[in-house]
Protein backbone atom coordinates (compact mmCIF):
# COMPACT_ATOMS: atom_id res chain seq x y z
CA UNK A 1 0.00 0.00 0.00
CA UNK A 2 1.35 3.44 -0.90
CA UNK A 3 0.16 6.82 0.34
CA UNK A 4 1.04 10.25 -1.05
CA UNK A 5 1.62 12.52 1.95
CA UNK A 6 2.31 15.54 -0.27
CA UNK A 7 2.82 15.98 -4.01
CA UNK A 8 6.54 15.15 -3.44
CA UNK A 9 6.52 12.72 -0.50
CA UNK A 10 5.19 9.15 -0.59
CA UNK A 11 5.26 6.41 2.06
CA UNK A 12 4.53 2.73 1.59
CA UNK A 13 4.18 -0.55 3.43
CA UNK A 14 3.71 -4.14 2.25
CA UNK A 15 4.14 -7.73 3.37
CA UNK A 16 6.44 -10.10 1.48
CA UNK A 17 5.76 -13.79 1.27
CA UNK A 18 8.12 -16.74 0.88
CA UNK A 19 9.11 -17.64 -2.67
CA UNK A 20 10.40 -21.19 -2.29
CA UNK A 21 8.29 -24.24 -1.45
CA UNK A 22 10.94 -25.77 0.82
CA UNK A 23 11.01 -22.59 2.93
CA UNK A 24 7.23 -22.63 3.31
CA UNK A 25 7.21 -26.27 4.41
CA UNK A 26 9.66 -25.49 7.24
CA UNK A 27 7.39 -22.86 8.78
CA UNK A 28 3.62 -22.53 8.82
CA UNK A 29 3.74 -18.74 8.23
CA UNK A 30 4.01 -17.63 4.62
CA UNK A 31 4.81 -13.99 5.51
CA UNK A 32 8.48 -13.29 6.11
CA UNK A 33 9.11 -9.53 5.80
CA UNK A 34 7.38 -6.20 6.38
CA UNK A 35 8.65 -3.60 3.89
CA UNK A 36 8.52 0.08 4.83
CA UNK A 37 9.58 2.77 2.38
CA UNK A 38 9.78 6.50 1.76
CA UNK A 39 10.08 8.21 -1.64
CA UNK A 40 10.82 11.92 -2.12
CA UNK A 41 10.64 13.68 -5.49
CA UNK A 42 13.69 15.96 -5.59
CA UNK A 43 13.10 17.49 -9.04
CA UNK A 44 9.39 17.82 -9.74
CA UNK A 45 9.28 19.09 -13.30
CA UNK A 46 10.06 17.62 -16.68
CA UNK A 47 12.73 20.24 -17.35
CA UNK A 48 15.26 18.70 -17.65
CA UNK A 49 13.78 15.58 -15.98
CA UNK A 50 11.98 14.34 -12.86
CA UNK A 51 14.22 12.91 -10.13
CA UNK A 52 13.27 10.91 -7.03
CA UNK A 53 15.16 9.14 -4.28
CA UNK A 54 13.79 6.48 -1.99
CA UNK A 55 14.78 4.11 0.76
CA UNK A 56 13.00 0.91 1.69
CA UNK A 57 13.58 -1.22 4.76
CA UNK A 58 12.80 -4.94 4.91
CA UNK A 59 12.04 -5.81 8.51
CA UNK A 60 11.97 -9.57 9.12
CA UNK A 61 8.99 -11.06 10.91
CA UNK A 62 10.89 -14.23 11.82
CA UNK A 63 13.73 -14.19 14.31
CA UNK A 64 17.32 -14.57 13.18
CA UNK A 65 17.11 -12.48 10.02
CA UNK A 66 18.66 -9.05 9.46
CA UNK A 67 16.97 -5.79 8.52
CA UNK A 68 17.61 -5.07 4.83
CA UNK A 69 17.62 -1.70 3.14
CA UNK A 70 17.37 -0.60 -0.49
CA UNK A 71 18.30 2.95 -1.52
CA UNK A 72 16.93 3.80 -5.00
CA UNK A 73 17.34 6.65 -7.50
CA UNK A 74 14.59 7.13 -10.12
CA UNK A 75 14.75 9.40 -13.18
CA UNK A 76 11.91 10.08 -15.65
CA UNK A 77 11.46 12.21 -18.76
CA UNK A 78 8.37 12.81 -20.88
CA UNK A 79 8.77 13.33 -24.62
CA UNK A 80 5.33 14.29 -25.95
CA UNK A 81 3.21 11.24 -24.91
CA UNK A 82 6.13 8.84 -24.33
CA UNK A 83 7.48 8.53 -20.77
CA UNK A 84 10.98 7.12 -20.27
CA UNK A 85 12.23 6.07 -16.86
CA UNK A 86 15.33 4.56 -15.32
CA UNK A 87 16.19 3.43 -11.82
CA UNK A 88 19.12 1.97 -9.92
CA UNK A 89 18.88 0.40 -6.48
CA UNK A 90 21.30 -1.30 -4.16
CA UNK A 91 20.34 -4.48 -2.34
CA UNK A 92 22.36 -4.91 0.85
CA UNK A 93 21.35 -8.47 1.72
CA UNK A 94 22.35 -9.79 -1.71
CA UNK A 95 25.46 -7.62 -2.27
CA UNK A 96 24.03 -6.54 -5.59
CA UNK A 97 22.40 -3.71 -7.45
CA UNK A 98 19.35 -3.77 -9.69
CA UNK A 99 18.52 -1.54 -12.61
CA UNK A 100 15.46 -0.82 -14.69
CA UNK A 101 15.00 0.97 -18.01
CA UNK A 102 11.49 1.39 -19.30
CA UNK A 103 9.02 3.30 -21.39
CA UNK A 104 5.27 3.87 -21.32
CA UNK A 105 3.25 5.13 -24.29
CA UNK A 106 -0.44 5.79 -23.56
CA UNK A 107 -2.91 4.80 -26.25
CA UNK A 108 -6.40 6.16 -25.68
CA UNK A 109 -7.30 6.69 -22.03
CA UNK A 110 -7.09 3.20 -20.58
CA UNK A 111 -4.32 1.34 -22.43
CA UNK A 112 -0.67 1.91 -21.44
CA UNK A 113 1.75 -0.42 -23.28
CA UNK A 114 5.02 -0.70 -21.37
CA UNK A 115 8.44 -1.92 -22.42
CA UNK A 116 10.93 -2.61 -19.63
CA UNK A 117 14.40 -4.04 -19.22
CA UNK A 118 15.27 -5.20 -15.71
CA UNK A 119 18.64 -6.47 -14.59
CA UNK A 120 20.67 -7.34 -11.54
CA UNK A 121 24.39 -7.49 -10.91
CA UNK A 122 25.62 -9.38 -7.89
CA UNK A 123 28.98 -10.08 -6.32
CA UNK A 124 28.59 -13.75 -7.32
CA UNK A 125 27.20 -13.45 -10.86
CA UNK A 126 27.58 -10.52 -13.24
CA UNK A 127 24.94 -11.65 -15.76
CA UNK A 128 21.66 -9.69 -16.06
CA UNK A 129 18.87 -11.51 -14.25
CA UNK A 130 15.11 -11.07 -14.39
CA UNK A 131 13.97 -8.77 -11.62
CA UNK A 132 10.73 -9.31 -9.78
CA UNK A 133 9.27 -6.40 -7.90
CA UNK A 134 7.48 -3.13 -8.32
CA UNK A 135 8.70 0.19 -9.53
CA UNK A 136 7.07 3.49 -8.82
CA UNK A 137 8.15 6.05 -11.35
CA UNK A 138 8.29 9.76 -10.62
CA UNK A 139 5.85 11.88 -12.58
CA UNK A 140 7.51 13.77 -15.37
CA UNK A 141 5.30 16.83 -15.63
CA UNK A 142 5.42 19.45 -18.32
pLDDT, one tens digit per residue, over 47-62 is 788 999 999 998 888 7
Report which listed range, 4-8, 57-61, 117-121, 124-128, is most confident. 4-8
**Residues contacting residue 37 through CB under 8 Å, at least 6 positions apart:** 11, 12, 13, 54, 55, 56, 57
Contact criterion met (CB below 8 Å) for 60 and 35: no
Is 6 a member of any domain? Answer: no
Is 127 a member of any domain? Answer: no
Closest CA to 49 of 96, 87, 11, 106: 87
Is 101 a member of any domain? Answer: yes
Q: Which pLDDT band, with edges at 50, 70 and 90, does 16 fall under?
A: confident
Is 62 a member of any domain? Answer: yes
Task: Count the domains in the chain.
Answer: 1
Is 34 a member of any domain? Answer: no
Give the model's pLDDT for residue 101. 92
- Side-chain-side CA neighbours of 90 within 13 Å: the count stands at 7
Which neighbouring-strand residues pair with 40? 9, 53
Asked if residue 15 has pLDDT above 90, the reply is no
Alpha-carbon distance of 32 to 97, in angstroms, equals 22
Is 14 a member of any domain? Answer: no
Give the model's pLDDT for residue 123. 64
Alpha-carbon distance of 59 to 10, in angstroms, equals 19
Is 26 a member of any domain? Answer: no
Asked if residue 132 has pLDDT above 80, the reply is no
Contact criterion met (CB below 8 Å) for 78 and 60: no
- Cis ω on the peptide bond leading into residue 48 (within 30° of 0)? yes
pTM of the entire predicted model: 0.66
Alpha-carbon distance of 117 to 126, in angstroms, equals 16
Asked if residue 28 has pLDDT above 80, the reply is no
Which range marks the domain in which residue 69 is found? 42-122
Is 93 a member of any domain? Answer: yes
Amino acid sequence: MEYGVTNRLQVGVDLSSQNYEEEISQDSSKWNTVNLGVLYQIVESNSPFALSASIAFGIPIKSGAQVDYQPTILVAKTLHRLQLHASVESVRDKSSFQYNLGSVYPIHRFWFPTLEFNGQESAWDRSPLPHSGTLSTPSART
